[in-house]
Structure 1
Amino acid sequence: MDILLNVVNYILGFGAAVFVPLIMFVLGLCVKMKPGDAFIAALTLGIAFTGMNTITSFMTGAIQPAAEGLADKTGLALTTVDTGWPAMSAIAWAWPFGVLCFPLLIVINIILLVTNKTNTLNVDLWNVWNLLFTAVLINYACEEAGMGTTVAMVLAFVGAGLMAALGIKIGDMWAPSIEKITGIPGVTVPHSMTFTAVLMFPFELILEKIPAIQNNNVDAKWLRDHFGIFGENSVMGLIIGIVLGAIAYGELQAALTLGIQAATAMVLFPMVSKLFMQALSPISDAVGDWMKAKFQDGRELYIGLDWPIVAGSNELWVLTILLIPVELIFAVVLAPIGNTVLPFAGIINTCCAVPALLLTGGNLIKMLILGIIATPVYLMVGSSFAGYCTRLAQTWSPDSLAGMGENPSITWSTMECPDFRWVLVNGLSGHVVAIVLLIVWLALFVLLYKHMAKRNVEIKKELGR
């Protein structure tokens, strides 16, 4: 176990921007790409991930102080610290049994591929931490329910295995939508953050019945066509940033600075996203040719990658900024009934924006409505898991709690797939209501899958495939 843990920790030390390109380089060689072409494609992918992460960090760094300023105006002081995903992932990896999620994901993916139950090859192994984070939550919940150490551990990995399988299957479901959004064929996002589309799905069906919303696809292009320069990425970022800054700071200089920072991010996101197409298109073409040679039934292979491949969508970032005041308002409103966290580190809620983007195809009105509906779930689930998150840190990463006092409390306010995690963790630990909700969630997953299968036929026709 120690040897495997050391190997995994060493690999993870490279970070996603190095680890994923290395895998893609090997994959390129396996599908007969020229070594030079495979190297350039992998290098460009690493640059794209680094560029996107840099801009995202820049935007979060600019927005977070404004969010804190907005919170200060309410005078609300909540007890749980929002760590965001970087700190939570580091804490989660300290759990020694989490290393087993690596082979678990790989084996499940191989089985599904060999049995022709999926077309997705998930190379986003760096994000396996989401599986182990879910596993440790289940483990703690089952122990708390008195199930015993062995049973709790077994159920933890059963839950992680289910999450891995659903992620691979949802990758199949999203591939055509992602090609339409990005222009890159043969890639998908088997990321657990997109599971929240299941929660959003019933509301999406209702919105589809409202002609004023369904027949008017208010996306970034629509805004440019109808509002001229006010629909341009830079101007939208400037306006949203100035408004947020004015409310948060009440001072012109700070408001204008935030406006320029938001405008900068809105312009750079689509620029960097073009690097993903430049990197992935040759690899996708090579994989397609290899699949045609190996399988005469026309089977496709989708390469499963992290969510930043869709980060060039302007609608995604418009939504994350629009949701900032919504998150803070709900944090205040929900405090009397259980919310204990102010969303600072997770204030840029891509975990909500990505599934909304994929489910609606970029309709901003739908995305905003679905985002508002989902936001309370993130806050309440994050608060409900604060005890387990804190226990994880106290047991395996006590240094992460330094300076937080005698009774620290931490969580991740915009935790990926909070709906699924809550029903899975509480369902496997024996809570009757959660068991029922888990069954309902899985049924909705199947219905969403079938719904998207029909939509994907139309999308493929649009793409000429």
Structure 2
Amino acid sequence: YIGVLKIINSDLMKPTFSDLLDAPDDNPMTTTHLNYMMNPIIMVFDKIFDKIFPWLDKYDFDSAELNKKIGFWGSHFAIGCYLGIFVGLIGRQDAKEIFTLAFTGGVCLELFSQIGSWFIAAVEPLSQGISDFATKRLKGRRFNIGLDWPFVAGRAEIWAAANFLAPIMLIEALVLPGNHIMPLGSIIAMGVTPALLIVTRGRIIRMIIIGAIEMPIFMWAGTLSSPFITHVAKQVGAFPSGAAGHQIAEATKEGPIEQYLAYLVGKASTGEITFLLYAALGLIAYGLIFWWYAKQMKKRNAAYAAAKEAK
């Protein structure tokens, strides 16, 4: 069910990817990544902005220019260092351990974006070849290739929004009722910002505000799944030796709505009537909101096509 919707969504997003990346229509790049299944929820908030707060768009700014002005202090490395210092202070570590945490966090976040961009550049010729082969062999049908989400990581809005959302996420993690997660590697919000980019088409103020609103959904989902993740990590010997007595999870793991649905379906499989009802209602609501979102994306895609015909 979710897998089918992911494939449908990849085709719905294709014109937006081409527009944001200034790519020709015949390029095969799209994605079936679970990140983008948050699009329907984000679209709801985006439409609310259209109706109530459209005036905010005139205060939007050039995120690439902002990143340039902030310089090193807003870089991935610097954000990782801030996070390491913050975690070290909370854990009452000594100066040496705090410095080690800061440096490790900085290196990890810096490498994350670099390696992701290298990977996408490396597989792009292969994906083009596969798409051309499939199109030629299957009677002229055009096939796109579902890449991982970082092929849009070159857009500055993703990183500008992440810079703003990082401190917001830390504050929310500390005060959010029912949350038991302190963000670490997920502080760069890569489960959040790619979908924000696609739905808002890079309007940075919308990305930041909607991102701040939706992050609790991710942290609650992470809290819900943390006992299972901790158990599995211990079973396979991957549990961190220094985290005894704690649980592990990811604060912005992609697919929070799908995690809730999986929980309901899992409970329903035991035969509990209440959870059978909840699971059925959840799956129906999930399908309906996706249907509404698909209609909005088809209107957007028709507008793209009309604009190109007018040129």
Q: Give the alignment's TM-score, normalised by structure 2.
A: 0.75
Residues 195 and 271 from structure 1, CA distance in 2 versus in 1: closer, same or farther, beyond 3 angstroms?
Answer: closer
Cross-structure match for 1:379: 219
Is 1:175 aligned with 2:14?
A: yes
Cross-structure match for 1:236: 70
1:301 shift after superposition:
1.1
Cross-structure match for 1:439: 284
Which amino acid in 1 is paired with 2:124?
Answer: L
Is 1:291 aligned with 2:130?
A: no
The answer to whether the 8 Å contact 1:176/1:456 transfers is: yes
Cross-structure match for 2:178: 338
Residues 375 and 234 from structure 1, CA distance in 2 versus in 1: closer, same or farther, beyond 3 angstroms?
Answer: same
Alignment of 1:189-208 (within 5 A): 189-208=31-50
Query: Equivalents in 1 of 2:55, 2:253: separation in Å?
Result: 32
Structure 1: runs of 5+ lacking an equivalent: 1-161, 225-230
Is 1:425 aligned with 2:263?
A: yes
Q: How large is the RMSD of aligned CA atoms in angstroms?
A: 3.7
Residues 424 and 243 from structure 1, CA distance in 2 versus in 1: closer, same or farther, beyond 3 angstroms?
Answer: closer
1:295 shift after superposition:
3.0
Query: Equivalents in 1 of 2:308, 2:118: separation in Å?
Result: 19
Instruction: Tell me the alpha carbon deviations over residues 331-385 of structure 1, each in whole angstroms, 9 at most, x when there is no partner.
Output: 1112xx3211101122111110111111111110111111101111111111111
Query: Equivalents in 2 of 1:246, 1:369: separation in Å?
Result: 22
Cross-structure match for 1:450: 295
Query: Equivalents in 1 of 2:291, 2:247: separation in Å?
Result: 36
The answer to whether the 8 Å contact 2:57/2:205 transfers is: no
Query: Equivalents in 2 of 1:289, 1:384: separation in Å?
Result: 43
Alignment of 1:145-224 (within 5 A): 162-184=1-23, 185-209=27-51, 210-214=53-57, 218-220=61-63, 224=65
Residues 176 and 243 from structure 1, CA distance in 2 versus in 1: closer, same or farther, beyond 3 angstroms?
Answer: closer
Query: Equivalents in 1 of 2:238, 2:133: separation in Å?
Result: 50
The answer to whether the 8 Å contact 2:230/2:239 transfers is: no
Alignment of 1:237-256 (within 5 A): 237-240=71-74
| Equivalenced residues, count | 280
Which residue among 207, 229, 242 is the counterpart of 1:389? 229
1:204 shift after superposition:
1.0
Instruction: Tell me the alpha carbon deviations over residues 268-308 of structure 1, each in whole angstroms, 9 at most, x when there is no partner.
Output: 96998599568636853883586267435xx4211001011
Structure 2: runs of 5+ lacking an equivalent: 90-98, 269-274
The answer to whether the 8 Å contact 2:186/2:250 transfers is: yes
Cross-structure match for 1:153: none
Which amino acid in 1 is paired with 2:263?
Answer: V
Cross-structure match for 2:192: 352
Instruction: Tell me the alpha carbon deviations over residues 395-446 of structure 1, each in whole angstroms, 9 at most, x when there is no partner.
Output: x3135253433x4422222111112221232145222445423321221111
Residues 270 and 313 from structure 1, CA distance in 2 versus in 1: closer, same or farther, beyond 3 angstroms?
Answer: farther
Which structure has the larger Rg? 1
1:448 shift after superposition:
0.8
Q: Give the alignment's TM-score, normalised by structure 1.
A: 0.52
Cross-structure match for 2:161: 319
Which amino acid in 1 is paired with 2:264?
Answer: N
Alignment of 1:101-112 (within 5 A): none
Cross-structure match for 1:366: 206
Which amino acid in 2 is paired with 1:458?
Answer: A
Which amino acid in 2 is paired with 1:322?
Answer: F
Query: Equivalents in 2 of 1:201, 1:444: separation in Å?
Result: 10
1:392 shift after superposition:
1.9
Query: Equivalents in 2 of 1:350, 1:323: separation in Å?
Result: 11
Query: Equivalents in 2 of 1:403, 1:278: separation in Å?
Result: 36
The answer to whether the 8 Å contact 1:188/1:304 transfers is: yes
Query: Equivalents in 2 of 1:380, 1:341: separation in Å?
Result: 8
Cross-structure match for 2:272: none
Is 1:416 aligned with 2:260?
A: no
The answer to whether the 8 Å contact 1:270/1:314 transfers is: no
Cross-structure match for 2:304: 459
Query: Equivalents in 1 of 2:248, 2:150: separation in Å?
Result: 26
